[in-house]
Amino acid sequence: AQRVTQPEKLLSVFKGAPVELKCNYSYSGSPELFWYVQYSRQRLQLLLRHISRESIKGFTADLNKGETSFHLKKPFAQEEDSAMYYCALSGWQTGANNLFFGTGTRLTVIP
Amino acid sequence: NAGVTQTPKFQVLKTGQSMTLQCAQDMNHNSMYWYRQDPGMGLRLIYYSASEGTTDKGEVPNGYNVSRLNKREFSLRLESAAPSQTSVYFCASVVARHNEQFFGPGTRLTVL
């Protein structure tokens, strides 16, 4: 069965410091990995996906199949990055376009 | 485009009462989903509809029923609400070729 683990429920960093939100997964096959973000009073929205290999709002995430990880990184955190972040995977085991979410990490960037 | 809309935004029920949460999307998406979001548990899939006329159980379907009324609308029904169903409910839809889910604003449900 698939599993997505986000070991940190809460993460606080100072503005300008690097930030890394961890995500590990368990899945038989080749899943598609995503990061979704929920800012205060806003809808959950896609931040980035591994197949795009792009940087969004300064965030990047590399899929490491050997370590089964998809950590989210940003070199210099900003106050507007404070939000709830969810790692999610999709694949044939989850059903058509279905997402399986981790438990989330609440990031707080301290001014 | 309104995207994904949900009604109501807030609801308080007594144990045993029934209600239907409504969801609609105007993006011509084929697939629609209902999730619940609970502290420390993330989002869990309740039911999904891969296309109009089909529905399937997700991870936590017990106590819920769904109806895919047409391509735009996907409703979630609680026949006999229980305190364990206190949660925030999100509806989502997806454009298949990009596999990006678009979420509604959520319904905060409290069952007393």
* Best residue of B32, B43, B46, B74 to probe chain A, by most A CBs closer than 10 Å: B43
DSSP state of B7: E
B40 touches chain A (CB under 8 A): yes
In this structure, which amino acid lies at residue B31? S
The percentage of residues in chain A with a pLDDT greater than 90, rounded to a whole number, is: 72
The residue behind tokens 């809808």 is A43
pLDDT at A92 over 90: no
Å between B81 CA and nearest CA of chain A? 24
Q: How far is CA A48 from the centre of its chain?
A: 8
DSSP assignments along B36-97, one per residue:
EEETTTEEEEEEEESSTT--EE-S--TTEEEEE-SSSBEEEEESS--GGG-EEEEEEEEETT
Residue A81: phi and psi, rounded to 5, are -80, -10
Interface of A with B in 82-111 (CB under 8 A): 86, 90, 95-104
pLDDT tens per residue, range B62-96: 999 999 989 999 999 999 999 999 999 999 999 77
Measure the CA–CA gap between A86 and A101, rounded to whole angstroms.
7
CB contact under 8 A, B42 and A103: yes
pLDDT tens per residue, range B9-59: 999 999 999 999 999 999 999 999 999 999 889 999 999 998 898 999 999
The percentage of residues in chain A with a pLDDT greater than 70, rounded to a whole number, is: 95
A59 touches chain B (CB under 8 A): no
Measure the CA–CA gap between A34 and B106, rounded to whole angstroms.
20
